[in-house]
Amino acid sequence: MALVTAFAAVAACGSDADNSAAPSPAGPHSAHAGGSSAPPQPLRAGERFVELRMAEAYTPAPPAGGGSDEYRCQAIDPGLTKTAFLTGTQFAPENVAIAHHAIVYAVPPAGAAAVRKQDAKTPGLGWQCFGGTGVAGAEVEEGDAAWVDTWAPGATETLLDQDAGYKLEPGSLLVLQIHYNLLATDGKPTGSDRSSVRLRLTDGTPRTRELETWSVDAPTDLPCAADESGPLCDRAASIADVTKRFGPDVGEMADRQVEECGRGVPKPGDTQSCDHEVEAPMTLYAGFGHMHMLGRALKVELNPGTPKARVVLDVPQFDFDNQRLMKLPAPVEVGPGDTLRVTCTHDAGLRKLVPQLKKLPPRYVVWGDGTSDEMCTGIMTVSLRKS
């Protein structure tokens, strides 16, 4: 897979990359209560804060089919008139009783029209979404938006190096996804929320490194558990269902990944991996992993099976609600001839434990955008080297 731009498929920038006090994962889908955000660290030379708030208060409601969770996306215009670099992000929940976690996406000007169109055609403030922006033309998986921050209770500011950041051009938008959890109120609406997000921006210098992301993924071929059965436990039927829900581009992903990873046929199982060749000289600075509700663990290895083998990203206990950026102990230089291998482990048994899944029929899980589908993506934050 080729390098993509700074607005690429970023799977999760969680709490502050330099923050050792980030909350420990509590499981694949923890039910933590709300908590306030810590104050940001002081501004560095050339930086400024930009405070942005939801356009209006929103009162969440549980899904029509039952449950206690709502994932709501809203567009926020930072009003940029000149190019800036995003060097830090901090989400600030207003109603901590119902704000379970939040994700901040950056959408470049090319995807802004699609976001505005989605917003305009959906009644009320924002639109329903899960695992991404929910907007064709501004999806992280397609390289059309960047996942620049994730907030969970206890998280502080996501702070990047002073001379490294995501490039934001005039016309860029932010999409703010908030997961509202109404478990404490038995799924009944309770109060409104008008949260905000603080951006740390700089005009940059000749030394500022423009961060890009390299997305490395592996197939998801998770069969139904031994004690499960049903029509969607058939792989072909499950792919047909994904295609019906999300269109042929997403529906073809399962077989396309098998082919791209050099496999003749799918290999059903809990753990899948895929090797990706490095095509250009670059420096790896940080990384994070993205899966959905059935994710257990994710790892990215450099040059596996060789004397130069090393693990560059290790998420031994994946938590969907705490997908945080992990800064590497030291930058890693890679280039043509090197290989990155991503490996993911999923657990079909979690289907009976996760509230969003336990009422759904069992299925053979393949790549897809929905709550009941899965992904396996390792995202490395990189900067291209000129030589």
H or E stretch at 372: none
pLDDT at 189: 61
More confident of the two residues 205 and 115: 115
Which of 149, 108, 114, 141 has the alpha carbon at shortest distance from 7?
A: 108
- Model confidence band, residue 184 (pLDDT cutoffs 50, 70, 90): low
- Model confidence band, residue 1 (pLDDT cutoffs 50, 70, 90): very low
Average pLDDT, integer, range 325-341: 91
363-385 per-position pLDDT tens digit? 999 998 777 899 999 988 888 88
Predicted confidence (pLDDT) at residue 187 exceeds the cutoff of 80: no
**Taking a C-beta distance cutoff of 8 angstroms, is the pair 199, 86 a contact?**
yes
- The answer to which of 106-110, 138-142, 187-191, 366-370 has the lowest mean pLDDT is 187-191
pLDDT at 34: 40
| Stated pTM of the model | 0.75
Both structure tokens of 179: 């997961």
pLDDT at 279: 92
Predicted confidence (pLDDT) at residue 13 exceeds the cutoff of 80: no
User: What type of residue sits at position 281?
Assistant: P
Predicted confidence (pLDDT) at residue 233 exceeds the cutoff of 70: yes
**Taking a C-beta distance cutoff of 8 angstroms, is the pair 63, 144 a contact?**
no
**Taking a C-beta distance cutoff of 8 angstroms, is the pair 378, 216 a contact?**
yes
Average pLDDT, integer, range 128-153: 81
- The answer to which of 80-84, 92-96, 230-234, 236-240 has the lowest mean pLDDT is 92-96
174-183 per-position pLDDT tens digit? 999 998 877 6
pLDDT at 155: 78
- The span from the CA of 375 to the CA of 387, in Å, is 34
- The span from the CA of 204 to the CA of 202, in Å, is 5
pLDDT at 65: 56
- Model confidence band, residue 145 (pLDDT cutoffs 50, 70, 90): confident
285-301 per-position pLDDT tens digit? 888 888 988 999 999 99
Average pLDDT, integer, range 29-47: 66
Average pLDDT taken over every residue of the chain: 84
Predicted confidence (pLDDT) at residue 23 exceeds the cutoff of 90: no
245-254 per-position pLDDT tens digit? 878 988 999 9
Predicted confidence (pLDDT) at residue 17 exceeds the cutoff of 80: no
Contacts of 19 by beta carbon, 8 Å cutoff, 6+ apart: 155, 156, 159
Average pLDDT, integer, range 328-343: 94
Buried b (16+ CB within 10 A) or exposed e, 53-79: ebeeebebebeeeebbbbbbbbbbebe
Kindly state the greatest CA–CA separation across the chain: 60
SS3 115: helix
User: What type of residue sits at position 204?
Assistant: G
- The answer to which of 65-74, 171-180, 201-210, 304-313 has the lowest mean pLDDT is 65-74
Both structure tokens of 244: 């019906």
- Model confidence band, residue 38 (pLDDT cutoffs 50, 70, 90): low
pLDDT at 161: 80
Which of 128, 203, 193 has the alpha carbon at shortest distance from 162?
A: 203
Buried b (16+ CB within 10 A) or exposed e, 339-372: bbbbbbbbbbebbeebbbbeeeebbbbbbbbebb
63-116 per-position pLDDT tens digit? 665 566 788 999 999 999 999 999 999 999 998 888 878 889 899 999 999 999
Which of 227, 224, 221 has the alpha carbon at shortest distance from 239?
A: 221
- Model confidence band, residue 387 (pLDDT cutoffs 50, 70, 90): low
Cα three-residue angle 277-378-280, rounded to 5 degrees: 30
Both structure tokens of 318: 């994946």
